[in-house]
Amino acid sequence: MQPSSAVSEKTPAPFTPTATGKPLVGIVMGSTSDWPVMEAAARLLDEFGIATERRALSAHRTPDAALDWGRGAGQRGLKVIIAAAGGAAHLAGVMAAVSPLPVLGVPMESASLKGLDSLLSMVQMPGGIPVATFAIGKPGALNAALFAVAILAQGDERIRKALDDYRAAQTKKVLEAKLP
C-alpha cells in the first residue's frame, strides 16, 4: 500500500474555484475525459482571479445543447470562449459559428493520432469564422488561458498588472534556475 503522502503528491486536490464574480471565460470541452488537461486552464484563470464557466458539451453527442451554450455565451457575460476537443474536433468551430466572441481552440491529444487529427480539424477553419488554435494538450490549455487573460487585460488594469507580474515571475524563475 502506498503511503498517503505519495498518494496526495500524485492526486491534486479537486479544483475548487476561488475567483468570485461573474464568469468572464467559458471553458467548454467535448468530453469529461478532456477535463484533466483543461483543468490546467481553469486553475490558471482562477489564479488570475478570473471566474470561469466550465462545461462538457459535444458538437456530435450533444449538438443542440452545445449550440445553445455557444449562442447564449455573450448574453451570460462571457468575453472569451476556450473550446477543447479531440479527434474529429469540431466543437471550437461550432462555437465560433454561433458566437461572435473570440474562440480559443485547444486540440486534445487523441489515442490513435496523438492529437494531430484534433489539431488539423480545429485549425483548418474556412475564411470568415476564426478559431485561434493553440498547441496540442496541456501547453495549449495553459496558453489559451494566458491568451484569454491578455484579451481581458486590454480593458482591465488589475488583470494587466497581474499578467505583467506573472511574466516577470516566470522570467525570474528561468534565470535563477540552477542546473546540476
Query: Dihedrals φ, ψ of 26, to 5°?
Result: -100, 130
Q: Which residues bind ligand RP5 (CB under 6 A)?
A: 29-31, 33-34, 58, 85-87, 108
Q: What minimum distance in Å lies between the beta carbon of 2 and ligand RP5?
A: 27
Compute how many other C-beta atoms are within 10 angstroms of the C-beta atom of residue 162. Answer: 18
CA–CA dist 153, 157 (Å, integer) = 6
Compute how many other C-beta atoms are within 10 angstroms of the C-beta atom of residue 86. Answer: 27
Q: What minimum distance in Å lies between the beta carbon of 170 and ligand RP5?
A: 28
Q: What minimum distance in Å lies between the beta carbon of 88 and ligand RP5?
A: 7
CA–CA dist 85, 95 (Å, integer) = 12
CA–CA dist 131, 36 (Å, integer) = 22
* Position closest to ligand RP5 via CB: 30
Q: Closest CB to ligand RP5 among 138 and 160?
A: 138
Determine the length of the chain: 180
Q: What minimum distance in Å lies between the beta carbon of 109 and ligand RP5?
A: 8
Q: Closest CB to ligand RP5 among 70 and 86?
A: 86
CA–CA dist 114, 110 (Å, integer) = 5
Q: Closest CB to ligand RP5 among 87 and 93?
A: 87
Q: Closest CB to ligand RP5 among 19 and 123?
A: 123
Contact 109, 118 (CB under 8 A): yes
Q: What minimum distance in Å lies between the beta carbon of 35 and ligand RP5?
A: 10
Burial zone of 51 (CB within 10 Å; 0-12 exposed, 13-18 middle, 19+ buried): middle
Q: Closest CB to ligand RP5 among 86 and 105?
A: 86
